[in-house]
């Protein structure tokens, strides 16, 4: 379990793009369960959409990718430094099953499917309660920058 202070030490993201509030469980090399509380105060709700606030699907994918990064770091036993960047390498089979609105709590279940040549492949499912909101296969990689 990681709280927000531990997450901030692992991920370089900050407001408004940090999308993981807490890690509920991690099974090294296998799975992570993380949560994101969705608040009306999120900056994207001003324009998406003023009459019916809905969390953009790409941000659900980003939230899953951030959870995946935390799983990757735990799996490798590393804490990234300022020279390490974790990138999306691909997204497959993304499906959005229900809108996510202010007041919802996203529970992200991400499992590591494969790790080869510095490319990580994950399967992610995001739920609100018992309902699937988003699912996708994510490919990510770490790079060292100058």
- Residues assigned a catalytic role: 48
The answer for residues whose C-beta is within 8 angstroms of residue 97's C-beta and 6 or more apart is 131, 132, 133, 134, 135
> What's the Rg (C-alpha) of the chain?
15
Burial of 114 (0-12, 13-18, 19+ CB in 10 A): exposed
How far is the CA of 96 from the CAs of 41, 55, 56, 82, 134, in angstroms?
22, 11, 10, 33, 4
């Amino acid at each position: 379990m990681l709280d927000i202070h531990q997450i901030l030490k692992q991920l370089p993201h900050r407001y408004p793009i940090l999308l993981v509030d807490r890690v509920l469980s991690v099974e090294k090399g296998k799975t992570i369960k993380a949560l994101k509380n969705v608040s009306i105060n999120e900056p994207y709700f001003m324009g998406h959409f003023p009459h019916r606030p809905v969390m953009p699907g790409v941000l659900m994918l980003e939230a899953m990718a951030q959870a995946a990064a935390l799983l990757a770091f735990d799996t490798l036993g590393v804490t990234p430094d300022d020279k390490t960047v974790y990138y999306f390498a691909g997204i497959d089979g993304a499906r959005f099953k229900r809108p996510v609105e202010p007041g919802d709590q996203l529970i992200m279940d991400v499992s590591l499917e494969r790790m080869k040549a510095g490319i990580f492949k994950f399967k992610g499912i995001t739920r609100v309660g018992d309902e699937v909101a988003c699912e996708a296969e994510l490919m990510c990689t770490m790079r060292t920058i100058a």
